[in-house]
Every structure is written in structure tokens, then in C-alpha cells.
Amino acid sequence: MPGGQTLSCYRFAHILFQRYAYDHVDEVARAHLHRLVAEALEGLRVEGATGAEVDAQDPAGPQQLARHWEAAGRFDKAAACLLQAGNRAGQLSAYGEAVQLLRQGLALVGRLPEGSERAQLQKQLLIGLARPLLPVQGWASAERAQLAQQALDLERQGPANEADLIGALYLDAEILSARGKFAEALDLAELLLFLAQRSDTPAYVALGYYARGWGRFFSGCLAESITDLRQALAIYDRPRHAPLLPWVDADLGVGCLSILALALCYMGYADQALSCSRQALAQARELARPLVEAEALTFGGCGFHALRWETQTVQEMAHRLIELAEQKDLPMFRPFALIHQSWAQALGGGDRPTIAQIRDGLAAWRAMGHRSGTPFLLGLLAEMLQHSGAWDEALSTAEEALALAVETGAPHRPDLYRLKGELLTERPAPTGAGQPPDADEAEACFHMAINEARQIGAKLLELRATVSLARLWAGQGKRAEAHRALAEIYGWFSEGFDTPDLQAAKALLDTLS
């Protein structure tokens, strides 16, 4: 014991003796004894080990201390111990336990008198609780949004704490982005980066570039997002910086690589994009943290390979993500994985999924409040309906996806115009109508897709829409115009010639020659 005292250990012969003795101690004496026990336990932990050694030697320490401090009436110390225990449980992927502990901590904070110390502890508990809620409720859940807003409100009331402010801004930006409010999220990311640069803390600066990078990506500013994400990667030093960023739900480096893969893919740099995707997945596996791997599989795996129309790889990635979600209690990822699995099976062969499966997945995804990514997922459903010959449903689904993409500014908007045009050209004419499908409206959709793709620098989507337009023109006898338009965009590419899009473009060019 500290101070050279000896430690004795006694055990009651029966639990009833212990309860009798405890219940017959008056409340004041009982609180005093709990305080003495808590102080003794704290002294043991301080003298015996610190940091990671404490985690290894005394895994239940903070919870035991919290119980004694609460019984002693020291709710501030009890809540602080529960914060520590909850954060530790989250790091060990015990998300349910983490949520329970952090909610207990918030309840105790409510028993503290108003003041700066209460506000500081409450902010940390609010931000801390939002993290383990993510795997269960999703990025955009109403409860996470409420926690983020409460944390920001407390921070604005002051006095300001740099770390808490950075954490609250990041959390709020993440939730706004997931809810499809990309402009608001980007504004917060800009503020976060400004404050981080002023703080001269490299970990915060890396976080600022990361937040602005994915904010710009989801807003359709692809080139700018690539610049920011590469800057974040250049600064980020995982061993030194990760412990300073407890608000990042997965890993900043893996997250940067995953979004960078998508941005590069949209812009037509297929080989560079594939390299980033592979790095993201490899690093996630090396870190051996389920949430990190799940997020890498979501963006750098399923989403990335679906964008490239690589159905076999999507099936493999989706299978792994479903397995991870079920084994590691990460339910929010299951709907996303099921949607991709159903789409890949429908278009690539294998087990025949039902339309109901992908609709159920979309319903679960949207029930969590997600609007980010929803236009892309609706596009997958429209392609699945198209493949099954349900033309009217496919067209209405594509139009729903397009309306949401226009509203939110999603970068996938050009491809949804192309998809609508494809459906207009392919669906059969109504029975007895005696007229062909609306080729003029389809052509307008293709031109809109090409123009919007050029505006955001999405060369992949420009190529894809030009292929569709060239097919339409070729069927109308405009083979020279079709060849000229397709040759121009195809000639821009310098990599990715083994991808489905470029292979299809080359085959059409050869046919038109």
C-alpha cells in the first residue's frame, strides 16, 4: 500500500454475514468506508502500474472504483471512472457494455451541481457515448445527433476546451454528412481544420484535412477531396496520433485510403484507386479491430468494387462484411452488405436473390437515418430491377435516386442520369402504343450525365455516359458521331484498361470503326 502500509484480505464465511454487516453500518460511516476503499484502490493502481499496464493488470478497475465513489457520494469521480471504463470497453469492441457504462456516467453527471467541471465531464461522456452507439445505430442515428448537438451546445457555453471542441465538431460533421447535409458538414469541417491549424497539433490537423476531404468528396468536389485526403495521410502518424483522436470511430489512415479509392475511381484513375483500396483493407486486417475492418469493407470494399461493376469481388466483400457484422455485433453494416450482395448476385450470377431482400436492406439503412450513400444504393436496386425486366419499377427507382442525389449534391448524380437514359432506351413500348421508347429524353439524360460528370471531373462517369450515348447514336445510324465522341473520352485514360468500363468502351469503339 502507499506509505508502507500492509494490505490484509478477509473473506466472510457466508454472503449473508457480509450483507448483515454492511446493512447495519449507518449511511455516513458506510460512505466513509467506501471513500477509504476507493482511495486505497486508486493508490494501488497508481503505485502498481500505469497506462497500458493498468489495462492488462486491472481490467475491471474503473468500474469497481466507480461503484465505491458513487456510494461515497463522489459522483464526479464515479462518472470519470465510468467514462474511462466505457472508453476502454469501446476500444475492446465491447460496444454494448461501453454504451451501458457511459449512460451510467451521464446519469451520475446529472446529480452534480452546475459548473465548469460538470460541463467538462458531461461533454466527454456525450462524445464518448456517440462512438459505441455507431455500430448498433449507424452514423446518422437520432440519438447520436442529439448527443453531438448537446456537446456542441455545452462547448459554446464555455469555457472552451480545445480537445472537446475538436471532438464535438468532428462528431457533428460526421452525423450531418451521413444525413445528407453535405454543405453543413463541410462548413463544420472547415472550422475544424481552421482550429486545428491554429492549435499546431499535428493529430488535429490530420483530422481536419480528413474531415474536409470526405466532406468535399460527398459534395462532389473530387479533385479537392483527393488533395485533402493525401495531406491527411502525409501528416498522420498512427502510433502517435491515434490515441489523441478518440472521436474517430475507426482509423483515420484506413478511412482516408477508403475514401481516396472512391474519389480516384470516379476521376478515372483506376489503378491508383485499386492500390488505395487494397492498402485500406490490408491495414484494417493488420489492426485487427472489427469496426475498422467493417468500415474499410463498406467504402474501400463493397462500395468501391460496385462502382467498378466487379460483381464477383463485391460478393466476396459483402460476404465478409455480413460475417463480421454477425460475429462482432456490428448490426449497422448488415443492410449495406446485403444490398451489395443481392445486387452482385443478380448481375453476376450465383444464387438468385429476391427484390424483397434488397428492399429490406434499403429500408433498414434508411431507418437508421442515412441519406448519404442512399442514391447509390437506390441505383443498385434500379439496376437489379432492370436486370429482372421490371422496367417501370426500375425507372421510378432511378428517378427517386436522382431526386435525392440532386437534393443532396451526391457525386453519383451523373451516373443516375445515365441509368435513367438507359432505362428509357431499353424498356419496351407500352402495349398497343405503336411507338418506340422515348429516345429524345434518353439522349437528353445522357448529355446531362456527361455535362455533370465534366463539372465534377468524374471521368469514369463521363466515359460510362458516353458509351451509352454512342450506342444510342449507333442505333440511329450516327456511327461517325458516336465513334468521335467515344474516342475522345477513351483517349484521355492512361490506366485501368482491364476494368469492365474501359473494356466495354474499347469493344464498342472497335465495332464502330
pLDDT digit string (tens) for 419-474?
999 999 988 766 555 445 688 999 999 999 999 999 999 999 999 999 999 999 99
Q: For the chain, what is the largest distance between any 2 Cα atoms, rounded to a whole number of angstroms?
A: 100
Residue 185 in contact with residue 177, Cβ under 8 Å? yes
**Residue 494 DSSP code:** -
Say how far residue 296 (Cα) sits from the centre of its chain: 9
Q: Which cell is 23 given?
A: 446493512
C-alpha to C-alpha distance for 423 and 391, rounded to whole angstroms: 7
> What type of residue is 444?
A
With H, G, I as helix, E, B as strand and everything else as coil, classify residue 249: coil
Residues 98 and 166 in one domain: no
C-alpha to C-alpha distance for 311 and 309, rounded to whole angstroms: 6
Domain count, the chain: 2
Percent composition of the chain: helix, strand, coil (DSSP 3-state, to 5): 80, 0, 20
C-alpha to C-alpha distance for 45 and 121, rounded to whole angstroms: 22
Task: Give percent above pLDDT 70 in the chain.
Answer: 87
Cis bond before residue 335 (omega within 30° of 0): no
Q: Evaluate whether residue 496 is within a structural domain.
A: no
Mean pLDDT, range 5-25, rounded to an integer: 56
- Report pLDDT digits (tens) over 199-249: 989 999 999 999 999 999 999 999 999 999 999 999 999 999 999 898 888
Residues 5 and 118 in one domain: yes
Q: Which cell is 436 given?
A: 418506340
- Report pLDDT digits (tens) over 51-77: 444 444 454 478 888 887 777 888 898
Crossing angle (nearest 10°) for helices 27-48 and 61-71: 150
Span between the terminal Cα atoms of the chain, in Å: 88
278-311 CB burial, b ≥16 within 10 A, e <16: ebbbebbeebebbbbbbbbbbbbbbbbbbbbbbb
- Report pLDDT digits (tens) over 272-281: 999 999 999 9
Name the domain boundary from 205, 223, 242.
242
Q: How many CA atoms lie within 13 Å of 337's alpha carbon, on the beta-carbon side? A: 23
Q: Which cell is 384 given?
A: 437489379
Mean pLDDT of the chain: 88
Residue 414 pLDDT: 97
Name the domain boundary from 81, 112, 131.
131
Q: Evaluate whether residue 342 is within a structural domain.
A: no
Q: Evaluate whether residue 507 is within a structural domain.
A: no
Residues 233 and 191 in one domain: yes
- Label residue 1 by pLDDT band (50, 70, 90): very low
Residue 432 pLDDT: 53
Q: Identify the domain containing residue 186 by its residue range.
A: 161-242
Q: Which cell is 145 given?
A: 445527433
